């Protein structure tokens, strides 16, 4: 590993100016659970690491009537230990609580998970199904990008030279809604998803009919995937095993997996179907207040 | 559900069989224990190894000049620096291949035979410079087609790893053309064909197992200082300092007395640190640089550049009559040796049917080179693979006959006097007692309820080893005893050896101060491996203690001025027959320096009678029919320990072996890309089980005393990894109604079989 400069900016403008000066030779460091590993493994080369933990805006977690503003560098444990956030967004907690180990969760951030743009990023599908929006600052000011549009390929995102992800805005949960995330791993911890699915539903007041649904997939394509047809297929339908099975089938169709050491194409299509059905059932129970 | 560990004892002793605190415990839990990576020496340089990115390639040339020119680089070595480079075929004669293979696995000369094969090394002022210098070494490779599967490597026309490797057939014929088959063996007993003809039911299946790694948590490391006077000092993580000494001297063509090896604390070995990779390379770098050199492996280097356990292919056929007696059995085993000959196929062959009384049996084995790292020992080498096949076929025979799998095994079990297929006759053994303990266990007697669940049972065998050990014991004036040994302590052997010394001397365990020392400071001691250490080094401690006792008796006789025959040593006291004169051990110890000098007892031995070990494992699993994932619900491991010297450490060995076996069964494998490169060389994707993947492993220690040891001890470290592969496969088979014959039984493979 080569020597690199470490910069700890105390303001967003300072961060943007450092990033602008170094282009793709500089990158923010939040928990470092991906980037340090990549640097040590020779999979990435940088001149400058810019500490995101010293920039105030990136470290705030704020729950208001308009939703959750999650600073990009806030570590997972701060999210799931915040009882109000945990109660409002159990689907996000599903992911925050299973990334790596407890030690990793003490450092790793949701913003970092998004910027790392791994197809397997566990927190990205629930951010997508919850309608999350990435708030980006850069040399040209602010812009917002829907979570499902943020990743553009394995390890690649919409961030341009000099830009930094400041936070993620998640809308306030509407009545009778529920979200869940499940991943499949061969072990019970410390693993990377063979496939992951988040489902989010809004039911009518009776809890018997789906008003709208969003389904997002991990590890089954070059980026996390919003399975639009699968989610839309449930809109207006009564909650039923058949409707859920159809959504599972459509989600499986939306996947475009590869065969690698973690799983095969066939296995991943199958798992998307299984996990879609399972997450929909959890999301429905949560929407009904049953869990 | 009861989940207590049980010890079914035959004989009770004062210290042996108790559970005292381990002598190295405080240092380890406080982080003070010194491992190889902790070592600091004045002027220490840091080295890194350049490894082949290709699984199979001819090395046309290596140019190290750019690396040597980098500021901070102090030495670069390649195979040209090893003595082999200067020796001709004539010089080495019949020793040519052996010596070439030994030398080439430290630094490749003409060919790189696996991805991760060491080709050069750099010592520099710090590790970062050494790493940067690796990029400046120019190796001209001619990439060749690799062969990584044992059956593919045996085919005519397969890429050849070695141009001159020929093997000798069972009939003594030397093959006329080179192949990847390094050796072939065959054992026969009775008339196998006739036995099958007399059977009412026959099961025949093929099995494969993947390459797996021991997964010790501490990577290989070595520090060497080649001093100006020609003496080489080595500090390393090894299971056997004397093996490092012997092989370092061998490959460097120097006298063993020029090499002193100090074994540091060891963070796991499981057989994989019987072999070593870095020590001679560090020594060569040190000689060139004129300074001590430390070299560490990364986890990826450990996976790619050290020895895994072999992948294998097996065909197993067994027949039984309607009364449930096995009439004949045969097995063909083909084991991957890795890049150089020497897989444990012989051990696999001799363990395969060891649990069964066979009148008719045939065993054939092939040792086959492939483009993978040279395999190394891993806990009962060869036996887990063989048991994976045989114990599943036995399970299927039981299904077809409709008999209970424990009763079937009891009906066919080996006992004292049974003759194995390859010849040896069993002495007193405890398989019957293990099977009875399984039958009587609450786990086995409780019904398995719930859907998608299955219960598996399997037995396993390991021969155990004796081998050389030495112990010196010095009596201190305060009545304590320094116990000096050469056995590296991996699993609590300082404690189990000190217990045997204390028992023999009749003094308290705390009065024994065990120390593991370097190769100049103790007599020849073989590796901590082969389940031999508590047996053989323990026995050396017993003999050294007897030597101390005899000298204490003589000293008392001389102090009292009485005939030595009238003095006896009894339970930590030295007494005259008159019963008027007596010393406690402490009293006499206090007077030694003023009554003729200190007392040192010594013993070196190479014992036989190591006593075989058997285990029987029970496992309940649940398989998720939608994902194929297997959850281990309950696990009970039963094993004959002869006498458990320190039951907690015996239980630790049993639990550790079971866990490694479960990992081997369910998830662990070297996953190779198209060009023979390992794709999952990290603990993220090489999936060993974590604590969250496992239930508590319950244990039952059965004690059938080994008549070949003073306290009845049998080795315990290896056999617990033998049954789990098949036990888990049998359980998954019952849960899914599918026989899974290829390891690992991953969720993906279960889905493929059941969807």
Q: For chain B, how long is the longest CA-to-CA vector?
A: 87
Tokens of A61: 């977690």
Contacts of B132 in chain A (CB under 8 A): 2
Closest to B34 (Cα-Cα) out of B468, B469, B518, B656: B518
pLDDT in tens, B186-204: 999 999 999 999 999 999 9
B170 touches chain A (CB under 8 A): no
- By CA distance, what is B299's nearest residue in A? A41
Please name the residues in contact with B40: beta carbons below 8 A apart, sequence gap of 6 or more: none
- Mean pLDDT, rounded, of chain B: 96
List alpha helices for B506-609, DSSP H.
538-560, 585-591
User: Which among A184, A192, A261 is the nearest to B679, CB-wise?
Assistant: A261
Is the Cα dihedral B636, B637, B638, B642 positive or negative? Answer: negative
State the smallest CA–CA distance between residue A267 and chain B in angstroms.
Answer: 6
pLDDT (mean) for A5-9: 97
How many domains is chain B built from?
Answer: 2
Q: What is the C-alpha separation between B491 and B307, in angstroms, rounded? A: 21
**CB distance B690–A184 less than 8 Å?**
no
Q: What is the C-alpha separation between B287 and B284, in angstroms, rounded? A: 5
Residue B1: the pLDDT is 42
**CB distance B692–A187 less than 8 Å?**
yes
Q: Which of B143, B177, B198 is a domain's end point?
A: B143
Q: What is the C-alpha separation between B191 and B195, in angstroms, rounded? A: 6
How many domains is chain A built from?
Answer: 3
Q: Report how far apart, in Å, the C-alpha atoms of B59 and of each of B53, B676, B698 are.
A: 12, 17, 52
Half-sphere exposure of B722 (CA within 13 A, CB side): 33
User: Which among B666, B685, B692 is the nearest to A262, CB-wise?
Assistant: B685
Contacts of B625 in chain A (CB under 8 A): none
B690 touches chain A (CB under 8 A): yes
Q: What is the C-alpha separation between A166 and A172, in angstroms, rounded? A: 19
Question: For chain A, what percent of residues have pLDDT higher than 70?
Answer: 100
Q: What ranges make up the beta strands (E) of B64-137?
A: 73-78, 111-112, 118-124
Q: What is the C-alpha separation between B124 and B132, in angstroms, rounded? A: 10
pLDDT (mean) for B306-315: 98
**Residue-wise burial string across B630-647, b where 16 or more C-beta atoms lie within 10 A, e elsewhere:** bbbbbbbbbbbbbbbbbb
**CB distance A267–B751 less than 8 Å?**
yes
Q: For helices B724-736 and B383-401, what crossing angle results, to 10°? A: 40
List alpha helices for B583-712, DSSP H.
585-591, 647-666
Contacts of B684 in chain A (CB under 8 A): 190-192
Tell which B residues from 639 to 668 touch A, by Cβ distance under 8 Å: 666-667
Q: Which of B589, B605, B621 is a domain's end point?
A: B605
Contacts of B131 in chain A (CB under 8 A): 1
Tokens of A279: 């997450």
Contacts of A99 in chain B (CB under 8 A): none
Residue A74, by phi and psi: left (phi above 0), alpha (psi -120 to 50) or beta?
beta
Give the domain CATH number at A274: 3.30.390.50
User: Which among B629, B752, B755 is the nearest to A186, CB-wise?
Assistant: B629
State the smallest CA–CA distance between residue B616 and chain A in angstroms.
Answer: 25
B170 pLDDT band, cuts 50/70/90, is low
Residue B494 structural domain: 469-605
Q: Is residue B640 part of a domain?
A: no
- By CA distance, what is A269's nearest residue in B? B627
B104 pLDDT band, cuts 50/70/90, is very high
Total-model pTM: 0.96
- Residue pair B716/B639 in contact by the 8 Å Cβ criterion: yes
Give the domain CATH number at A118: 3.30.465.10
Q: What is the C-alpha separation between B431 and B720, in angstroms, rounded? A: 13
**CB distance A270–B755 less than 8 Å?**
yes
- Residue pair B114/B52 in contact by the 8 Å Cβ criterion: yes
Tokens of B439: 């039958």
pLDDT (mean) for B318-334: 98
Tokens of B356: 């069964």
List alpha helices for B441-584, DSSP H.
442-445, 493-505, 538-560
B172 pLDDT band, cuts 50/70/90, is low
The radius of gyration of chain B from alpha carbons, rounded to an integer in Å, stands at 27
Q: What ranges make up the beta strands (E) of B155-296?
A: 181-189, 201-209, 221-226, 232-236, 259-263, 293-296
Contacts of B747 in chain A (CB under 8 A): 184, 186, 194, 267
A2 pLDDT band, cuts 50/70/90, is confident
Contacts of A3 in chain B (CB under 8 A): 128
Please check the confidence at residue A107 and state whether its pLDDT lies above 80. Answer: yes
Q: Which of A125, A147, A171 is a domain's end point?
A: A171
Tokens of A96: 């925050």
Residue B677: the pLDDT is 96
Q: Is residue B584 part of a domain?
A: yes
Tokens of B306: 């050290």
Clarify whether residues A105 and A138 are in a common domain: yes
Query: Number of A:B CB contacts under 8 A?
Result: 53
User: Which among A2, A187, A189 is the nearest to B667, CB-wise?
Assistant: A187
**CB distance A192–B671 less than 8 Å?**
no
Place of tokens 């020119």: B69
B126 touches chain A (CB under 8 A): no
Is the peptide bond preceding residue B744 cis, with omega within 30 degrees of 0?
Answer: yes
| Chain-centroid distance, C-alpha B435 | 25
Clarify whether residues A87 and A185 are in a common domain: no
Place of tokens 């004690």: B703
User: Which among A1, A186, A192 is the nearest to B128, CB-wise?
Assistant: A1
User: Which among A184, A188, A267 is the nearest to B693, CB-wise?
Assistant: A188
Clarify whether residues A129 and A165 are in a common domain: yes
User: Which among A186, A260, A266 is the nearest to B747, CB-wise?
Assistant: A186
Residue B222: the pLDDT is 98
Contacts of A188 in chain B (CB under 8 A): 690, 692-693
Residue A38 structural domain: 5-51
State the smallest CA–CA distance between residue B282 and chain A in angstroms.
Answer: 22
Residue B9: the pLDDT is 85
Query: Best residue in A3, A4, A97, A186 to probe B by mutation, most B CBs within 10 Å?
Result: A186
Q: Which of A137, A171, A205 is a domain's end point?
A: A171
Give the domain CATH number at B92: 3.90.1170.50
B578 touches chain A (CB under 8 A): no
Clarify whether residues A45 and A62 are in a common domain: no
Q: Which of B143, B168, B196 is a domain's end point?
A: B143
Query: Read out DSSP for B25-38?
Result: HHHHHTT-S-BGGG
Residue A3: the pLDDT is 84
**Residue-wise burial string across B314-349, b where 16 or more C-beta atoms lie within 10 A, e elsewhere:** bebbbbbeeebbbbbbbbbbbbbbbbbbbbbbbbbb
Clarify whether residues A272 and A167 are in a common domain: no
pLDDT in tens, B607-665: 999 899 999 999 999 999 999 999 999 999 999 999 999 999 999 999 999 999 999 99
List alpha helices for B342-382, DSSP H.
345-351
**Residue-wise burial string across B357-392, b where 16 or more C-beta atoms lie within 10 A, e elsewhere:** bbbbbbbbbbbbbbbbbbbbbbbbbbbbbbbbbbbb
Tell which B residues from 178 to 217 touch A, by Cβ distance under 8 Å: none
Give the domain CATH number at B481: 3.30.365.10
B2 pLDDT band, cuts 50/70/90, is very low
**CB distance B128–A184 less than 8 Å?**
no
Clarify whether residues A96 and A199 are in a common domain: no
Q: Is residue B206 part of a domain?
A: no
Q: What is the C-alpha separation between B105 and B374, in angstroms, rounded? A: 8
- By CA distance, what is A272's nearest residue in B? B627
Strand A164-171, strand A177-184: pairing: unpaired
**CB distance A189–B751 less than 8 Å?**
no
Q: To the nearest 5 percent, what fractions of chain A are helix, strand and coil?
A: 35, 25, 35
Q: Is residue B240 part of a domain?
A: no
β-bridge partners, A182: A197
Q: Is residue B297 part of a domain?
A: no
pLDDT in tens, A115-172: 999 999 999 999 999 999 999 999 999 999 999 999 999 999 999 999 999 999 999 9
pLDDT (mean) for B22-48: 96
Q: What is the DSSP letter of A219?
A: S
Please name the residues in contact with B606: beta carbons below 8 A apart, sequence gap of 6 or more: B466, B467, B468
Contacts of A261 in chain B (CB under 8 A): 671, 679-680, 685
Contacts of B632 in chain A (CB under 8 A): none
| Three-state secondary-structure class, residue A52 | helix
B165 pLDDT band, cuts 50/70/90, is confident
Clarify whether residues A196 and A244 are in a common domain: yes
- Give the phi and the psi of residue A157 in degrees, each rounded to 5: -140, 180
pLDDT in tens, B275-309: 999 999 999 999 999 999 999 999 999 999 999 99
Contacts of B671 in chain A (CB under 8 A): 261
Query: Best residue in B621, B674, B747, B754 to probe A by mutation, most A CBs within 10 Å?
Result: B747
State the smallest CA–CA distance between residue B300 and chain A in angstroms.
Answer: 10
Half-sphere exposure of B366 (CA within 13 A, CB side): 22
pLDDT in tens, B131-156: 999 999 999 999 999 999 999 999 99
Q: Is residue B15 part of a domain?
A: no
- Residue pair B154/B180 in contact by the 8 Å Cβ criterion: yes
Contacts of B693 in chain A (CB under 8 A): 187-189
**CB distance B687–A3 less than 8 Å?**
no
Closest to B512 (Cα-Cα) out of B478, B483, B546: B483
Please name the residues in contact with A216: beta carbons below 8 A apart, sequence gap of 6 or more: A124, A125, A126, A128, A129, A148, A197, A198, A224, A225, A226, A227
β-bridge partners, B363: B187, B331
Chain A interface, Cβ < 8 Å to B: 1-3, 184, 186-192, 194, 260-264, 266-267, 270-271, 274
Clarify whether residues A43 and A71 are in a common domain: no
- Residue pair B353/B365 in contact by the 8 Å Cβ criterion: no
| Three-state secondary-structure class, residue A276 | helix
Clarify whether residues A139 and A112 are in a common domain: yes
**CB distance B128–A2 less than 8 Å?**
yes
Give the domain CATH number at A22: 3.30.43.10
Tokens of A111: 């913003």
Place of tokens 């789906």: A210
Closest to B468 (Cα-Cα) out of B166, B232, B241: B241
- By CA distance, what is B693's nearest residue in A? A188
Q: Is residue B527 part of a domain?
A: yes
User: Which among A184, A187, A266 is the nearest to B687, CB-wise?
Assistant: A187
User: Which among B685, B752, B755 is the nearest to A261, CB-wise?
Assistant: B685
State the smallest CA–CA distance between residue B638 and chain A in angstroms.
Answer: 26
Give the number of other Cβ atoms within 10 Å of residue B356's Cβ: 23
């Amino acid at each position: 590993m080569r020597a690199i400069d470490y910069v700890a900016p105390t303001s967003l403008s300072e961060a943007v100016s450092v990033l602008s000066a170094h282009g793709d030779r500089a990158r923010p460091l939040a928990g470092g659970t991906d980037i340090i590993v990549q640097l040590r493994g020779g999979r990435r080369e940088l001149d400058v690491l810019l500490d995101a933990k010293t920039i105030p805006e990136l470290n705030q977690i704020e729950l208001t009537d308009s939703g959750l503003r999650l600073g990009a560098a806030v570590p997972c444990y701060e999210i799931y230990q915040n009882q109000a956030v945990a109660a409002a967004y159990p689907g996000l907690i599903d992911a925050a609580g299973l990334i790596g180990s407890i030690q990793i969760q003490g450092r790793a951030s949701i913003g970092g998970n998004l910027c790392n743009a791994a197809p397997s990023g566990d927190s990205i599908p629930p951010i997508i199904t919850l309608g999350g929006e990435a708030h980006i600052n850069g040399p040209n000011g602010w812009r917002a990008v829907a979570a499902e549009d943020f990743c553009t390929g394995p390890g690649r995102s919409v961030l341009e030279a000099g830009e930094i992800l400041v936070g993620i805005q998640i809308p306030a949960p509407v009545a009778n809604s529920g979200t869940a995330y499940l991943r499949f791993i061969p072990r019970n911890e410390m693993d990377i998803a063979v496939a992951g699915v988040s489902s989010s539903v809004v039911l009518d007041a009776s809890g018997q009919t789906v008003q709208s649904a969003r389904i997002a997939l991990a590890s089954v394509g070059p980026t996390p995937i919003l399975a639009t047809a699968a989610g839309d297929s449930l809109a207006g339908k009564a909650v039923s095993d058949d409707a859920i099975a159809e959504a599972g089938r459509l989600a499986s169709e939306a996947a475009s997996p590869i065969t690698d050491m973690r799983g095969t194409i066939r296995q991943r299509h199958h798992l998307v179907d299984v996990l879609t059905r399972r997450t929909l059932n959890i999301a429905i129970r949560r929407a009904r207040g049953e869990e | 559900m009861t989940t207590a560990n049980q010890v079914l004892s035959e004989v009770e002793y004062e210290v042996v069989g108790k559970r005292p605190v381990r002598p190295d415990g405080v240092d380890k839990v406080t982080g003070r224990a010194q491992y190889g990576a902790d070592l600091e020496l004045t002027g220490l340089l840091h080295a890194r190894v350049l490894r082949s990115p290709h699984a199979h390639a001819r090395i046309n040339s290596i140019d190290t000049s750019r690396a040597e020119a980098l500021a901070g680089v102090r030495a670069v070595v390649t195979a040209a620096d090893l003595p082999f480079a200067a020796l001709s075929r004539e010089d080495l004669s019949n020793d040519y291949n052996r010596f070439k293979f030994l030398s080439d696995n430290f630094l490749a000369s003409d060919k790189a035979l696996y991805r991760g094969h060491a080709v050069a090394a750099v010592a520099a002022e710090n590790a970062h410079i050494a790493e940067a210098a690796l990029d400046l070494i120019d190796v001209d490779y001619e990439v060749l087609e690799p062969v990584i599967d044992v059956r593919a490597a045996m085919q005519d026309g397969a890429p050849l790893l070695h141009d001159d490797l020929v093997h000798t057939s069972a009939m003594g014929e030397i093959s006329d053309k080179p192949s990847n088959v390094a050796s072939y063996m065959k054992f026969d007993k009775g008339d196998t064909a006739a036995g099958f003809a007399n059977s009412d039911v026959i099961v025949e299946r093929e099995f494969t197992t993947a390459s797996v790694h021991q997964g010790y948590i501490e990577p290989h490391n070595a520090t060497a200082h080649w001093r100006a006077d020609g003496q080489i000092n080595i500090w390393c993580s090894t299971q056997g300092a004397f093996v490092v000494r012997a092989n370092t001297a061998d490959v460097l063509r120097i006298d063993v007395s020029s090499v002193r090896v100090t074994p540091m604390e060891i963070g796991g070995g499981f057989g994989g640190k019987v072999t070593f990779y870095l020590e001679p390379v560090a020594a060569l770098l040190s000689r060139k640089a004129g300074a001590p050199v430390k070299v560490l492996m990364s986890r990826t280097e450990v996976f790619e550049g050290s020895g895994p356990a072999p992948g294998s292919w097996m065909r197993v056929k067994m027949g039984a009559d309607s009364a449930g007696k096995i009439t004949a059995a045969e097995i063909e085993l083909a084991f991957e040796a890795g890049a150089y000959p020497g897989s444990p196929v012989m051990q696999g062959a001799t363990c395969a049917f060891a649990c069964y009384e066979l009148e008719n049996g045939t065993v054939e084995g092939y040792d086959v080179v492939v483009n993978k790292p040279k395999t190394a020992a891993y806990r009962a080498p060869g036996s887990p693979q063989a048991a994976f096949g045989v114990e599943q076929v036995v399970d299927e025979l039981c299904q077809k006959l409709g008999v209970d799998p424990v009763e079937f095994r009891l009906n066919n079990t080996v006992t004292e006097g049974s003759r194995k297929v390859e010849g040896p006759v069993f002495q007193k053994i405890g398989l019957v007692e293990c099977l009875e303990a399984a039958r009587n266990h609450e786990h086995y007697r409780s019904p398995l309820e719930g859907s998608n669940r299955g219960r598996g049972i399997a037995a396993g065998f390991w021969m155990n080893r004796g081998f050389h050990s030495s112990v010196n014991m010095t009596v201190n004036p305060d009545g304590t005893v320094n116990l000096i040994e050469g056995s590296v302590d991996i699993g609590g052997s300082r404690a189990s050896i000190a217990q045997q010394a204390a028992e023999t001397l009749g003094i308290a365990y705390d009065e024994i101060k065990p120390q593991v020392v370097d190769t100049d400071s103790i007599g020849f001691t073989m590796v901590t491996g082969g389940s031999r250490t508590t047996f053989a080094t323990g026995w050396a401690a017993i003999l050294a203690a007897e030597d101390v006792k005899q000298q204490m008796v003589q000293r008392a006789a001389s102090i009292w001025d009485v005939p030595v025959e009238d003095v006896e040593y009894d339970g930590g006291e030295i007494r005259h027959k008159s019963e008027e004169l007596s010393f406690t051990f402490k009293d006499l110890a206090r007077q030694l320096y003023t009554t003729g000098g200190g007392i040192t007892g010594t013993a070196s031995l190479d014992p036989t009678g190591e006593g075989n070990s058997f285990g029987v494992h029970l496992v309940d699993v649940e398989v998720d029919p939608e994902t194929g994932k297997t959850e281990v619900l309950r696990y009970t491991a039963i094993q004959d320990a002869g006498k458990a010297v320190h039951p907690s450490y015996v239980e630790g060995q049993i639990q550790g072996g079971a866990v490694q076996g479960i990992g081997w069964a369910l998830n662990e494998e070297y996953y190779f890309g198209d060009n023979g490169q390992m794709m999952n060389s990290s603990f993220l994707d090489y999936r060993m089980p974590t604590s969250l993947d496992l239930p508590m492993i319950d244990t039952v220690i059965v004690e059938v005393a080994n008549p070949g040891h003073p306290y009845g001890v049998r080795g315990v470290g290896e056999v617990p990894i033998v049954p789990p592969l098949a036990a888990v496969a049998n359980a998954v088979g019952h849960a899914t109604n599918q026989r899974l014959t290829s390891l690992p039984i991953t969720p993906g493979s279960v889905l493929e079989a059941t969807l």
